[in-house]
Amino acid sequence: MRKLAFGLAALTLVGGALTGCSSTSAAGASTSPQEAAAKLKNQTITLVVPFDPGGGYDAYARMVAPKLGDELGATVIVENRPGAGGILATNEVVHAKPDGKTLVLLNGPGHLGAAIAKTNGVLYDAKKMTYIGQISSEPDVLVTSKSSAITSVDDIRGKRFAATGPGSNEYIDAVVLNQQLGMNNQVVTGFKSSNEASLNVIQGNVDLHSRSLGSQQPGINAGDLKPILVIGENTGEKEINGVQNLVDAVKDDQKELATLHTKLISSGRLLAAPPGMDTGTLQAIREAFKKVMTDEAFVKAATDAKRPVHYTSGDDVQKLVNDVMGSPQEYVDLITKAYAG
């Protein structure tokens, strides 16, 4: 009986503590960047990656984290919190304290796309989040198999797109292309990963596949894939040199939407923080981030590691977010369609 009593006691003791304690902390008043920087010294900053380890986001985060830590005199640890295509982690981060100790690496197109489409599960206002800056930006590239008869964007009518599932960047591209080029091409979904979709393009089972340049490069370099169209700003890499751009491929009345979509794609990978960060802390982190991103050695190392960086300041990112979030209804409808499947 004694053991039972202790078991029960253990339970009630712990249960009682639940009601007894609660953590409270007052929001800090606005501080100067110097004070804020001093506050972050020797602290542990968590950089949340809303995806599994091993992907591009994880790799970028792990590349930037130690440098940012050096710059701030703090320890930046990377934490993978995959789920719901990044929405889960973002929902959590917006509720964290905006004290600079929680940062998140966002998938720009996915983050903003979900917010525009107001898809199920989005519990945050993308405009209110605090943006530290952009880490990288690369265009999407539409490819086909090397042996395919398709040679340019004029040949793609009636061909089939491959994509993992609705709401993925590649699916959004397919829906946007269909609308902008006045096509009604089938999108074959259900591939487990974007690499698998790509393999099926190489095999000739499906014709077209659009995803980020970095992911397409190995296939193009191996001679298995050929680029057809660039979606987003052409950054001039040799693989896509001279390839037609979406903005030039569409009719005049579609130019505006094509430009908006270019903006969405070029939002790239964004470093962000919970909403409501005081200006001092924000400035301190933005400064440190800028120093990292403009450090020549870092930029070169990143390029060598096939993870090219592209810096945009937090202010400009905020503007871009506001632009995209203020898109005309036509574009909102289009993106919403791309999430509804």
Partner 1 sequence: MSTEMIHPAEDADASGSRSRRVHRPDLIITSVLLLVFIVAFLMATGWRDLAAYFPLGVSGMGAIASASFLVRVLFFPPKPHSPEPDVPGAAKSVAEQEYEFFKNLSKRDWITSICWLGGFFIALVIFGIYVAVVAFTAGYLRYQAAKSWWFSWIYAAVLGGVIYGIFEITLKLPLPDGLLGLG
Partner 2 sequence: MLDAIWSALGEAITPMSLLMLLIGVVIGFLVGILPGLGGAVTLALLIPVTFGMDPVPAFSLLLGMYVVSAIAGDFTSILFGIPGEPTAAAMVLDGYPLNKKGQAGRALGASLASSAIGSIFGAILLMALIPVMRPLIMSISAPELFAAAVLGLTFIASLSGGSIHKGLVMATVGVLLSLVGIDPNLGIERYTFGSLHLWEGIGIVPVVVGLLGGAEVLQSMLDKDGETKTIVAPHLGGILVGVKDSFRHWWLMLRASAIGAVLGMLPGLGGSVSQFVAYGHARQTSKRPEEFGNGSIEGVIAAGATTTAKDGGHLVPTIAFGVPSGASMAVLLGAFLILGLNPGPEMLGKNLDVTLSLVWIIVLSTIAAVILGYLLIRPLAKLTSVTGRLLVPFLVAMLTIGAFSNTSSLDDVWIMLVFLAIGVLCSRFRWPRIPLLLGLVLGEILERYFTVSYSLFQFNWVSRPGVIIVELIIAAMILFTAVRVARKKRASKRELLTIGGHV
Q: How far is the CB of 220 from partner 2 (least distance, A)?
A: 10
- Binding of partner 2 at residue 8 (CB under 8 A)? no
Closest to partner 1 by CB, 7 or 73: 7
Reading the block at residue 213, the tokens are 């340049």
Q: How many CA atoms lie within 13 A of 81 on its CB side?
A: 19
Q: Which position has the token pair 């005081």?
A: 278
Residues in the chain: 341
Task: Please name the residues in contact with 335: beta carbons below 8 A apart, sequence gap of 6 or more.
Answer: 113, 116, 117, 172, 264, 327
- β-partners of residue 102 are 46
- Binding of partner 2 at residue 196 (CB under 8 A)? yes
- Binding of partner 2 at residue 63 (CB under 8 A)? yes
Instruction: State how far the Cα of 106 lies from the Cα of 124, in Å rounded to an integer.
Output: 13
Binding mask 225-264 for partner 2 (x = CB under 8 A): ----------------------------------------
- The single residue among 35, 79, 248, 315 that binds partner 1, judged by CB under 8 A, is 79
Kindly give the residue spans of alpha helices, DSSP state H, lying in 208-278: 213-221, 246-249, 255-266
By CB under 8 A, the residues from 6 to 25 that bind partner 1 are 6-8, 10-11, 13-15, 17-18, 21, 23
Closest to partner 1 by CB, 39 or 263: 39
User: Any long-range contacts for 327-335 (C-beta under 8 Å, 24+ apart)?
Assistant: 327/116, 327/260, 328/256, 328/257, 328/260, 330/257, 331/116, 331/257, 331/260, 331/261, 332/116, 332/117, 334/175, 334/176, 334/179, 334/257, 335/113, 335/116, 335/117, 335/172, 335/264
- The single residue among 33, 55, 275, 308 that binds partner 2, judged by CB under 8 A, is 55
Closest to partner 2 by CB, 33 or 83: 83
- β-partners of residue 75 are 44
CB atoms within 10 A of CB 182: 11
- Binding of partner 2 at residue 306 (CB under 8 A)? yes
- The single residue among 9, 10, 38, 305 that binds partner 2, judged by CB under 8 A, is 305
14 binding partner (options partner 1, partner 2, none; Cβ < 5 to 8 Å by kind): partner 1
55 binding partner (options partner 2, partner 1, none; Cβ < 5 to 8 Å by kind): partner 2
CB under 8 A: which stretch of 14-22, 34-42, 133-141, 202-210 binds partner 2? 202-210
CB under 8 A: which stretch of 62-70, 94-102, 258-266, 267-275 binds partner 2? 62-70
Q: How far is the CB of 335 from partner 2 (least distance, A)?
A: 13
By CB under 8 A, the residues from 70 to 99 that bind partner 2 are 79-85, 87-88, 91
- Binding of partner 1 at residue 3 (CB under 8 A)? yes
Task: Please name the residues in contact with 248: beta carbons below 8 A apart, sequence gap of 6 or more.
Answer: none
- β-partners of residue 133 are 271, 313
Number of residues binding to partner 2, judged by CB under 8 A: 55
Closest to partner 2 by CB, 125 or 316: 125
CB under 8 A: which stretch of 219-227, 229-237, 240-248, 290-298 binds partner 2? 219-227
Say if residue 163 is exposed, middle or buried (CB neighbours under 10 Å; 0-12, 13-18, 19+): buried
192 binding partner (options partner 1, partner 2, none; Cβ < 5 to 8 Å by kind): partner 2
